[in-house]
Amino acid sequence: KFFGGVGFAPGVNVWGQVGIQAMATISVLIWSGVCTFAILWVINKLVGLRVSEQAEDEGLDVYEHGEQVLSPK
């Protein structure tokens, strides 16, 4: 057998194992993407993902903490 041996399931060689691992990797990427989208969608509906335009204009340091870290340009 070409690159077969101990550690592989019966009838599986190294290339079959690479295919199995590639399929598992793609499955995990898809699952992670779907879960991330669902979590962000729920957060966006509950509290929002962005700050207000006013907070963006003021800067988050001033808006959130009441202090200015960087000097204005």
Q: Is the dihedral of CA 56, 57, 59, 64 positive or negative?
A: negative
How high is the mean pLDDT in each 10-residue block of the chain (73 residues)?
A: 64 84 97 98 94 81 75 63
CB count in 10 Å sphere of residue 11? 8
Whole-angstrom distance, CA of residue 26 vs CA of residue 23: 5
Whole-angstrom distance, CA of residue 44 vs CA of residue 32: 18
pLDDT of amino acid 63 = 73
On whether the pTM is more than 0.75, the answer is no
pLDDT of amino acid 43 = 96
Residue 6 contacts by C-beta under 8 Å, 6 or more apart in sequence?
none
pLDDT of amino acid 47 = 93
